Protein backbone atom coordinates (compact mmCIF):
# COMPACT_ATOMS: atom_id res chain seq x y z
CA UNK A 1 0.00 0.00 0.00
CA UNK A 2 1.20 3.51 -0.79
CA UNK A 3 2.33 5.70 2.10
CA UNK A 4 -0.07 8.55 1.30
CA UNK A 5 -3.04 6.18 1.17
CA UNK A 6 -2.10 4.55 4.49
CA UNK A 7 -1.78 7.92 6.22
CA UNK A 8 -5.23 8.93 4.99
CA UNK A 9 -6.90 5.60 5.90
CA UNK A 10 -5.30 5.61 9.36
CA UNK A 11 -6.39 9.25 9.79
CA UNK A 12 -2.88 10.28 10.84
CA UNK A 13 -3.18 12.89 8.07
CA UNK A 14 -6.67 13.90 6.94
CA UNK A 15 -6.14 14.19 3.19
CA UNK A 16 -4.04 12.21 0.75
CA UNK A 17 -2.82 15.39 -0.96
CA UNK A 18 -1.62 16.76 2.39
CA UNK A 19 0.22 13.47 3.05
CA UNK A 20 1.87 13.83 -0.35
CA UNK A 21 2.95 17.41 0.43
CA UNK A 22 4.37 16.43 3.83
CA UNK A 23 6.35 13.58 2.23
CA UNK A 24 7.65 15.87 -0.53
CA UNK A 25 8.89 18.27 2.16
CA UNK A 26 11.05 15.47 3.61
CA UNK A 27 9.13 15.28 6.88
CA UNK A 28 8.35 11.53 6.70
CA UNK A 29 10.77 8.60 7.02
CA UNK A 30 10.18 4.88 6.66
CA UNK A 31 12.65 2.70 8.57
CA UNK A 32 15.03 5.67 8.84
CA UNK A 33 14.99 6.48 5.11
CA UNK A 34 13.35 9.55 3.54
CA UNK A 35 9.98 8.55 2.10
CA UNK A 36 7.98 9.59 -0.93
CA UNK A 37 4.18 9.58 -1.06
CA UNK A 38 4.37 6.62 -3.45
CA UNK A 39 6.61 4.53 -1.16
CA UNK A 40 5.30 1.01 -0.56
CA UNK A 41 4.55 0.02 3.02
CA UNK A 42 4.79 -3.39 4.63
CA UNK A 43 3.54 -4.64 8.00
CA UNK A 44 6.24 -3.96 10.58
CA UNK A 45 7.58 -0.79 8.91
CA UNK A 46 8.41 2.10 11.21
CA UNK A 47 7.14 5.52 10.06
CA UNK A 48 8.39 8.80 11.53
CA UNK A 49 6.22 11.88 10.79
CA UNK A 50 7.25 15.43 11.69
CA UNK A 51 4.18 17.55 12.37
CA UNK A 52 4.44 21.23 13.31
CA UNK A 53 5.57 20.93 16.92
CA UNK A 54 5.77 17.18 17.39
CA UNK A 55 7.32 14.07 15.92
CA UNK A 56 5.31 10.85 15.86
CA UNK A 57 6.87 7.43 15.31
CA UNK A 58 4.53 4.53 14.60
CA UNK A 59 4.78 0.90 13.53
CA UNK A 60 2.51 -0.45 10.79
CA UNK A 61 0.38 -3.27 12.25
CA UNK A 62 -2.08 -3.90 9.41
CA UNK A 63 -2.65 -2.88 5.80
CA UNK A 64 -6.33 -2.78 4.85
CA UNK A 65 -7.97 -1.18 1.82
CA UNK A 66 -11.15 -0.27 3.74
CA UNK A 67 -11.37 0.53 7.42
CA UNK A 68 -14.11 1.97 9.61
CA UNK A 69 -13.40 5.15 11.55
CA UNK A 70 -13.43 3.41 14.94
CA UNK A 71 -11.01 0.71 13.73
CA UNK A 72 -8.24 3.00 12.47
CA UNK A 73 -6.14 2.59 15.64
CA UNK A 74 -5.65 -1.09 14.76
CA UNK A 75 -3.64 -0.13 11.66
CA UNK A 76 -0.66 1.11 13.68
CA UNK A 77 0.87 1.30 17.15
CA UNK A 78 2.59 4.39 18.52
CA UNK A 79 6.25 3.86 19.37
CA UNK A 80 7.21 7.43 20.31
CA UNK A 81 5.61 10.84 20.45
CA UNK A 82 7.96 13.76 21.07
CA UNK A 83 7.40 17.49 21.25
CA UNK A 84 9.86 19.51 19.19
CA UNK A 85 11.52 22.46 20.90
CA UNK A 86 10.85 25.77 19.20
CA UNK A 87 13.73 28.17 18.65
CA UNK A 88 11.72 31.31 19.06
Which residues, other chains included, contact 63 with Cβ-Cβ below 8 Å and sequence gap of 6+? 1, 6, 41, 42, 43, 75
Residue 88 lies in a domain: no
Please give the residue range of the domain that contains residue 79: 3-83
Residue 32 lies in a domain: yes
Residue 24 lies in a domain: yes
Main-chain dihedrals φ then ψ at residue 55, nearest 5 degrees: -120, 130
pLDDT of 88 > 50? The answer is no
The answer to whether the predicted template modeling score (pTM) of the entire model surpasses 0.95 is no
What is the number of residues in the chain?
Answer: 88
Residue 21 lies in a domain: yes
Domain count, the chain: 1
Tens of pLDDT, residue by residue over 28-70, are 999 999 999 999 999 999 999 999 899 999 999 999 988 888 8
Residue 41 lies in a domain: yes
Average pLDDT score, the chain:
92
Residue 70 lies in a domain: yes
Domain CATH for 32: 3.10.290.10
Q: In what order do the strands lie in the sheet with 28-30?
A: 33-34, 28-30, 46-50, 54-60, 76-83
Amino acid sequence: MRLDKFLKLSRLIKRRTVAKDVANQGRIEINGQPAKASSDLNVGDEIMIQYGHKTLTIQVESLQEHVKKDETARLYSVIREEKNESNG
